[in-house]
Amino acid sequence: MITLTAGAVAVQVNPADGGRLTSLRVQGDELLVAPTADPLLSGCYPMIPFAGRVRNGRFEWGGEVHQLRQNQAPHAIHGTGFDRGWLVEQSGPDHLRLRADLQPHWPFAGWAIHHISLTADRLDLSLEVHTSGSSFPATAGWHPWFRRSLATGGDLVVAIDATGWYPRDDQGLPRGEVVSPPPAGPWDDCFTGLTWPATLTWPGALVVSITSTGNHLVLYDHPAHAICVEPQTGPPDALNHPGWPQIVHPTQPLITHMSLAWSPP
């Protein structure tokens, strides 16, 4: 476990556990759900080289059908990095750079970089997805589990500004079209046409503003104890929809950023 600090803010990162942030303490309040036995259900972890589910764990690229690990059967979910160890490439009191190979659960050779930087009033994260040779489609993003309740203040309220929503089929995956405006929640859904920031407010305690270079956001607010606000570069099952993922080339990696800034309410 590595701890980054800046002023009264502290972030814990576990490189051995998916390169995830296991703790984010701001003004004495813990914002993230503590680690659990299931690596999908806690902290804030990177999703590379695909974010969300891939239908039946399969996609076609280069005239060949590729089979992924079906870790949420019958689908694949959240990439190959959230449950493996990442190498520490650089480390300092307020920053960290991690690296992980995409294989063995990805059909193309490549690697990812996760960079974490902390100041007293913000947390900056970036992800890079690189290929070692062949081009391939990819998406990337983060999956933070925010606590609904802090030690003080009211329960979490999330506000997003999005013009588009991906309707889901009976398997919970996007059908293909984008609808505007989005209907009312509760949500386990992907949005686009975003105007950042997304705002997380614990009334009487803290306000966190999320900005990202990603043009999609998944909002999952079904659990009683947490809400997930997930910036990413494409919707779930993007690998099965031409034009949805970015194509990673040797000279053109996928790069995306997310920032969290906090202030009193």
Task: Report how far Cα 17 is from the mean position of its chain's Cα atoms.
Answer: 15
Ranges 57-61, 115-119, 176-180, 193-197: which has the least confidence: 176-180
Residues of the chain with pLDDT > 90, as a percent, come to: 92
Number of domains within the chain: 1
111-155 pLDDT tens trace: 999 999 999 999 999 999 999 999 999 999 999 999 999 998 999
At 56, is the secondary structure helix, strand, or coil? helix
On whether the CB atoms of residues 129 and 140 are closer than 8 A, the answer is yes
Residues of the chain with pLDDT > 70, as a percent, come to: 100
Please report the pLDDT score of residue 107 as a whole number: 96
Please tell me the distance from the alpha carbon of residue 78 to that of residue 95, in angstroms, as a whole number. 24
Both tokens assigned to 162: 């999005």
190-217 pLDDT tens trace: 999 999 999 999 999 999 999 999 999 9
Conformation bin of residue 151: beta by default, left when phi > 0, alpha when psi is -120 to 50: alpha
Please tell me the distance from the alpha carbon of residue 211 to that of residue 144, in angstroms, as a whole number. 13
Amino acid at 161: D
Please report the pLDDT score of residue 181 as a whole number: 81
- Is the four-CA dihedral 260, 7, 205, 15 of positive or negative sign? positive
93 pLDDT band (50/70/90 cuts)? very high
Please report the pLDDT score of residue 184 as a whole number: 82
Please report the pLDDT score of residue 182 as a whole number: 81
Q: List the domain range (segments joined by +) for residue 259.
A: 2-263
Q: Give the other-Cβ count within 10 Å of 193's Cβ.
A: 15
214-258 pLDDT tens trace: 999 999 999 999 999 999 999 999 999 999 999 999 999 999 999
How far CA 17 is from CA of 20, 81, 86, 87, in Å, comes to: 6, 9, 8, 11
Exposed / middle / buried, residue 188 (Cβ in 10 Å: 0-12, 13-18, 19+):
middle
CATH of residue 19:
2.70.98.10
- Report the pLDDT averaged over residues 74-90: 96
- Report the pLDDT averaged over residues 45-66: 96
